């Protein structure tokens, strides 16, 4: 894939900094799923911090707008290139991402939602700069089949939270609906879907692609519950209207997922 001259010039300037070990392009552009609204998600892997003034000197050359040193999730510089395309520069350490991937892919430690996102992020990224080949080494190390133990760990962690146990989302949503607490219903629904899609991607051995296009990407799997897209659409509609029928829909969504998990001997 070719990139704009403006983007290429930015990457070239960043590559000259000795603190930068590697630069990877991720997101939809890295995975060749870009559309006209796609930005550049650039992961800048550091061996030492680059001060804000140095970053500003570089981004001032290539960006018409820039928010430097945003700290909402990770350290980021977020702005707009001179050609009008948005760019995110996210700063990380290679040692940090190696540790996160080892914990998940090699040690098979699951979370509750988005367990394998960093794995997908690395695998889907295009290496734009790699000073000593460390990024390529990491990609090769973690280009492995989906571990069976990780799949089981994700299901064991997430499935009880659908309906089976006291902290389950089903029971939290029941309380929120009875209270008429719209914000809580929205929040618990979103958290439930995080767990649901974590399992759906796991059973299909797909590293989790993140919070965008989840239905379309999950639909590429071979092990999908019956009526799952219909159930998702219905549940979202019911959550928006505070319809108590949401609980029946969530029960159906859970049971249809359970059928898939049983067929794979995961529950």
The percent of residues in the chain predicted with pLDDT above 70, rounded, is: 96
Which of 257, 194, 192 is CA-nearest to residue 225?
A: 257
Q: For residue 63, what is the enclosing H or E element?
A: strand 63-70
User: What are the angstrom distances between the C-alpha of 226 and each of 63, 92, 263?
Assistant: 47, 40, 13
Average pLDDT score over the chain: 94
Q: How confident is the model at residue 131 (pLDDT cuts 50, 70, 90)?
A: very high
Task: Give 33's pLDDT tier (boundaries 50, 70, 90).
Answer: low
* Reported pTM: 0.89
- Closest C-alpha to 76, from 88, 87, 66, 84: 88
pLDDT digits (tens, 9 = 90+) for 170-214: 999 999 999 999 999 999 999 999 999 999 999 999 999 988 889
Query: Predicted confidence band at 38 (pLDDT cuts at 50, 70, 90)?
Result: confident
Give the long-range contacts of residues 98-103, CB within 8 A, separation 24 or more: 98/138, 101/138, 101/142
């Amino acid at each position: 894939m070719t990139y704009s001259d403006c983007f290429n010039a930015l990457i070239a300037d960043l590559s000259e900094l000795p603190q930068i070990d590697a630069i990877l392009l991720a997101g939809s552009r890295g995975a060749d799923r870009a559309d006209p609204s796609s930005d550049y998600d650039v992961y800048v892997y550091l061996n030492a911090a680059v001060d804000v003034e140095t970053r500003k000197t570089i981004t001032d050359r290539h960006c018409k707008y820039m928010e430097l040193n945003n700290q909402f999730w990770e350290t980021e510089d977020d702005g707009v290139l001179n050609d009008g395309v948005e760019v995110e520069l996210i700063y990380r350490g290679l040692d940090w991402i190696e540790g996160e991937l080892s914990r998940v892919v090699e040690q098979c430690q699951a979370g509750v939602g988005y367990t394998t996102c960093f794995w997908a992020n690395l695998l889907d990224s295009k290496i734009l700069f790699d000073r000593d080949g460390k990024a390529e080494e990491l990609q090769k190390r973690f280009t492995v089949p989906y571990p069976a133990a990780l799949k089981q760990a994700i299901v064991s962690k997430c499935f009880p939270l659908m309906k089976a146990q006291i902290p389950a989302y089903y029971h939290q949503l029941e309380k929120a609906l009875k209270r008429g607490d719209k914000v809580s219903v929205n929040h618990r629904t979103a958290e439930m879907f995080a767990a649901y899609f974590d399992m759906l991607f796991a059973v299909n051995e797909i590293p989790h692609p993140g919070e965008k296009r989840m239905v379309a990407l999950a639909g590429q799997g071979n092990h999908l519950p019956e009526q799952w897209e219909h159930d998702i659409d219905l549940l979202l509609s019911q959550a928006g209207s505070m319809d108590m029928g949401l609980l029946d829909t969530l029960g159906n969504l859970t049971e249809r997922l359970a059928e898939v998990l049983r067929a794979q001997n995961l529950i």
